[in-house]
Structure 1
Amino acid sequence: MDRPEVRIPTLRVRALPTSTNAYGRVQAGWLMNQIDMAGSLDAERLSRGPVTTVAVNTFQFAAPILLGDVVDLYVERLRIGQKSITLKITVEAERIDGSHEAITEVVATYVAVDCDGKSRLLGDI
């Protein structure tokens, strides 16, 4: 018997009034912060230390995130190099009525860094 794939979000956060504009929609900057948080959590875990974001591709909203939505961020590892990690971060909103809506997905690249901010090999600290 085939079971449906169970996905566990890297990060879940509710859209609160402080993250929305006057019309009850989440501001893009707030979402970018959540995307970077989810991506860096995974990249730091893999690199066993600090990372810095070096690139994020263009992202477009397929739908708005509304006040009260629970935002799920899923991270998929696309490429692991010697010093960098490229991730696909997918964002979905769980509406108050329980429905789910795809919001956006981005590709972000993180580089492992040492305490001086210089790039380092993954796993080296």
Structure 2
Amino acid sequence: MEQQESRIPVLRVRALPTSTNAYGRVQAGWLMSQIDMAGSLDAERLSRGPVTTVAVNAFQFAAPIMLGDVVDMYVERLRIGQKSITLKISVEAERMDGAHVRITEVIATFVAVDREGKSRLLGDA
């Protein structure tokens, strides 16, 4: 996979032993947490306040993430509503040998919330 130099990942993290199973492959729950973090960072920036994840489509692994891989998450804004933001979060891994591998992509929707956890308009923090 050819790396696109113009893209900047929202989040980069290394797969450590605590995130892998007994076979040295990253567990799906760890990756879902990282995907949620990447999406939340972008949605919080756009909404200027807290957000909550309300939907995530199913995701499939095109390749495993291995122990030591650097995992990059890229965010593309698909839809911006009055209270919600829908994002495409693409995940790639940089292997120890420098190869870049597409892992998965997820469509996730975040809703801006106030301090009581009720939905609010974007930008009204």
TM-score clears 0.5: yes
2:7 maps to what in 1? 7
The one-letter code matched in structure 2 to 1:22 is: A
1:19 maps to what in 2? 19
Deviation at 1:19, TM superposition (A): 0.2
CA distance in 1, matches of 2:31, 2:16: 12
How does 1:1-125 map onto structure 2 within 5 Å?
A: 6-125=6-125
Aligned with 1:65: secondary structure? coil
State the number of aligned residues. 122
- 1:44-66 per-residue CA deviation (whole Å, 9 max, x = no partner) reads 00000000000000000000000
- 1:64-110 per-residue CA deviation (whole Å, 9 max, x = no partner) reads 00000000000000000000000000000000000000000000000
Does the C-alpha gap of structure 1 residues 29 and 76 become closer, same or farther in structure 2, counting only changes over 3 Å?
A: same
Per the normalisation by structure 1, the TM-score is 0.96
Aligned with 1:45: secondary structure? helix
Unaligned runs of 5+ in 2: none
Unaligned runs of 5+ in 1: none
The one-letter code matched in structure 2 to 1:110 is: F
The one-letter code matched in structure 1 to 2:33 is: N
Deviation at 1:5, TM superposition (A): 5.7
CA distance in 1, matches of 2:9, 2:77: 13
Per the normalisation by structure 2, the TM-score is 0.96
| RMSD between aligned residues | 0.8
